[in-house]
């Protein structure tokens, strides 16, 4: 799985990765979702979170917390949230505390992770897996990313990109086992 940025100290992520690097066993899930935000400035809407352009950004407009809501039509397995933020460009608009929540809808969201960012520049990786090594993903209909506070006590926020990853489906259809090595996958079907 991808590593969580340059350093991590007690829930604080320091730095960021300039290149987006994700394991091959993960796939991008955000295209299957409906995206909405709690507020936005004119010309800086939700579409800029998904345009694959690091020069554009979503800018909130209103009171905190600022919310990004990601809803799926069916229950999906999610494992990783990746955000691109840039403290050098955005200064007080850069998020400093983020909460990731999941549930069936707005009525029953539960907090999964809270992360504090220290002057991040680049891709920030937030793993959705629990402390138990067997919990490598979550099953959910909805994911919410809440920006709880910004650096330098900024009011509005800038987030340049958000990507969401889940585990790849078993490459062998109708196979009850999840094989992990190429050798097992190669010999898993008889013709």
Instruction: State residue 19 phi and psi, 5-degree precision.
Output: -110, 140
pLDDT of residue 78: 95
Query: What letter does residue 88 receive in the DSSP assignment?
Result: H
- Work out the mean pLDDT of the chain and round it to a whole number: 87
Ordered domains of the chain (ranges, CATH): 7-186 (2.60.120.260)
Percent of the chain with pLDDT over 70: 80
pLDDT of residue 191: 56
Higher pLDDT, 173 or 53: 53
Query: What letter does residue 178 receive in the DSSP assignment?
Result: -
Task: Tell me: pLDDT of 169 over 50.
Answer: yes
Span of 82-86, 87-91, 162-166, 185-189 with lowest mean pLDDT: 185-189
Higher pLDDT, 7 or 26: 26
pTM: 0.81
pLDDT of residue 134: 64
pLDDT of residue 9: 44
Token pair of 155 as six digits? 């009011």
Span of 96-100, 126-130, 139-143, 186-190 with lowest mean pLDDT: 186-190
Render pLDDT for 116-165 as a digit per residue (tens, 0 to 9). 999 999 999 999 986 666 678 899 999 999 999 999 999 999 999 999 99
Choose among 120, 86, 96: nearest CA to 4: 120
Higher pLDDT, 168 or 134: 168
Task: Tell me: pLDDT of 174 over 70.
Answer: no
Choose among 161, 180, 174, 82: nearest CA to 189: 174
CA gap 37, 78 in Å, rounded: 20
pLDDT of residue 2: 41
Choose among 75, 86, 54, 39: nearest CA to 163: 54
The H or E element spanning position 89 is helix 87-90
């Amino acid at each position: 799985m991808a590593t969580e940025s340059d350093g991590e100290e007690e829930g604080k992520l320091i730095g960021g990765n300039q290149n987006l690097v994700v394991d091959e066993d993960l796939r991008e899930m955000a295209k299957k979702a409906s995206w909405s935000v709690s507020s936005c400035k004119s010309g800086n809407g939700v579409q800029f979170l998904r345009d694959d352009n690091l020069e554009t950004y979503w800018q909130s407009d209103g009171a905190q917390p600022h919310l990004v809501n990601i809803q799926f039509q069916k229950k999906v397995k999610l494992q990783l949230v990746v955000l691109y933020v840039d403290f050098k460009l955005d200064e007080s608009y850069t998020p400093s505390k983020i909460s990731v929540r999941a549930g069936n809808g707005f009525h029953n969201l539960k907090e999964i992770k809270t992360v504090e960012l220290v002057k991040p520049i680049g891709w920030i990786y937030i793993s959705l897996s629990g402390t138990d090594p067997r919990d490598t993903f979550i099953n959910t209909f909805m994911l919410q990313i809440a920006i709880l506070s910004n650096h330098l006590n900024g009011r509005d926020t800038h987030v340049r990109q958000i990507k969401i990853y889940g585990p790849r489906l078993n490459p062998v259809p109708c196979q009850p086992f999840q094989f992990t090595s190429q050798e097992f996958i190669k010999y898993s079907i008889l013709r």
